[in-house]
Copies of this chain bind each other. A is one copy, B any other.
Amino acid sequence: MPRSIAFDLLLLAQRNPKPCPVLGVLDAGETAGPLLPGGDVRTDLPAYRVYEKGRLVAEPTDARECWRDDLVSFLIGCSFTFEAPLERAGIPLAHVEQDRTVPMYRTSRRLEPAGSLGGPLVVSMRPIPADRVADAVRISARYPAVHGAPVHVGDPAALGIGDLAEPDFGEPVDIPDGTIPVFWACGVTPQAAVMESAPELAICHAPGNMLITDLRDEELLAP
């Protein structure tokens, strides 16, 4: 995001820590940092989405062409991090088994706005066997830096989600028998704020195409 609105984004994150857990912020113009030593935030993601005034104008795999020296990069935790501990606990993940990107949905819940930025809460959904929901809550809660415990369990309509088969981002998954949809706050949330609030420029990850760092999952465990 341009430096001129970086405060608004950082404040949006402070006010909405579940969808926007900030792991690191690079200084204006910086392309590497402690979380990606020797890396380049403009090229290390699999795919980017570029928004101008909230409108998607490009989806490149290299963001150097649209880079500006006044851009401040925010690295936000991703719930994929706690999928490994969920799997180690024997909790099946339908989107992994079905080889799909996790489905994500805009909800009717609104963020606490900050300055020029506001928008809806975006969630990721994983169908979890009814007898493992408590374990999924308990395990993910140990990772608040990557969205932590679910924000909602069960009825999608209560979040304003009309049809689980039509996610706003990612891909739909078949819901296995005996499972219940569990919803976690999602790092696409600030991107939805960009789409709604229409800052002059924002370069985001393409949903499902996150930066992978050298940080170990264990380092994100709550103390």
Contacts and interface: CB of A to CB of B under 8 A. Distances in A.
Nearest to A7: B7
A22 B14 contact: yes
Identical copies in the complex: 2
A223 interface: yes
Given A10-B11, A148-B223, 15 more contacts: A3-B7, A6-B7, A7-B7, A7-B10, A10-B10, A10-B14, A11-B25, A14-B14, A14-B22, A14-B25, A15-B25, A141-B223, A144-B223, A149-B223, A222-B222
A27 interface: yes
Residue in A10, A27, A148 with the greatest tally of chain B CB atoms within 10 Å: A10
A27 B10 CA distance: 13
Name the 7 nearest CB pairs between A and B, nearest first: A7-B7, A10-B10, A6-B7, A14-B22, A11-B25, A14-B25, A10-B11
A218 to B, nearest CB: 18
Interface string A100-141: 000000000000000100000000000000000000000001
Contacts of A10: 7, 10-11, 14
Contacts of A144: 223
